[in-house]
Amino acid sequence: MKIAIMQPYIFPYIGYFQLINLVDTFVFYDDVNFINKGWINRNNILVNGKPNLITIPLKEASQNKLINQIEILNDGKWQNKFLKTIEQTYKKSSQFQTVFPLIEEIITQKESNISKNIFHSTKLICDYLSIKTKLIPSSTIYQNTHLKAQERILDICIQEKANHYINPQGGIELYDRSFFENKNIQLSFLKSSPTEYPQFSNTFVPYLSIIDVLMFNEKTTVHNHLVSFELI
């Protein structure tokens, strides 16, 4: 059984969904400390041919709080601005009429907890792409916050009876293969390949939010992109 464990990110790049699609169980690691200016509540879209940050505003966000303790600032204003930015940017893209209602449903949901909001958002995108992976917030089940670093990751693998843990290649320096292999768990790293597709008439800008991928690609093409990676 293959498992991946990642912090929750809003509208992450396609490599995140490659990882979800690859495994049997995907754990949202939401009972760890929030990271200021990270990717939990923001990502990049294409504006005038360049990456541009889109952000969900948060209420009293702090690195002294866990991700699942952070609330969205629901002032009734940012949602309209967010959707207007998406509409102005992508209204001429080939998949706008299909994808914009999905983005609108995600942005107008009533859930104010950022972890639960992202969980629901990711589930909706997975449903759209017919990804059947089991999604689990770590805060709801494992009761192992006393453990640290890879010991905690290993414990989640054991609790889920996983025999293969897969992490993005950025974690190569963080994890010790022998530490996992001693518990009969294979450790692999996903190296996402650059996924090029037409973005209007612009020079291609890689690693943008999944929003960009969905706006320019039919579902069948996205499915091809989901398997464009290497396991190392």
DSSP 42-57: EEEEEETTEEEEEE--
Return mean pLDDT, the chain. Answer: 95
Report the pLDDT value the prediction gives residue 74, as an integer from 0 to 100: 83
**pLDDT value at position 206?**
92
pLDDT of residue 162: 98
- Quick one: pLDDT at residue 73? 93
pLDDT, position 186: 97
At residue 116, the pLDDT reads 98
- Predicted local confidence at residue 76, as pLDDT: 77
State the pLDDT at residue 229.
Answer: 95
CA dist 100 and 230 (Å) reads 31
Q: Beta-carbon neighbour count of residue 206 at 10 Å?
A: 15
pLDDT at site 201: 80
Report the domain count for the chain. 1
Classify each residue of 145-179 as buried b or exposed e, where b means 16 or more C-beta atoms within 10 Å of its C-beta.
eeeeebebbbbbbeebebebbbbbbebeeebeeee
Output the pLDDT for position 193.
85
Low-confidence ranges of the chain (pLDDT < 70): none
pLDDT of residue 99: 98
Residue 76's domain spans which residues? 2-231
Phi then psi for 188, rounded to 5 degrees?
-130, 160
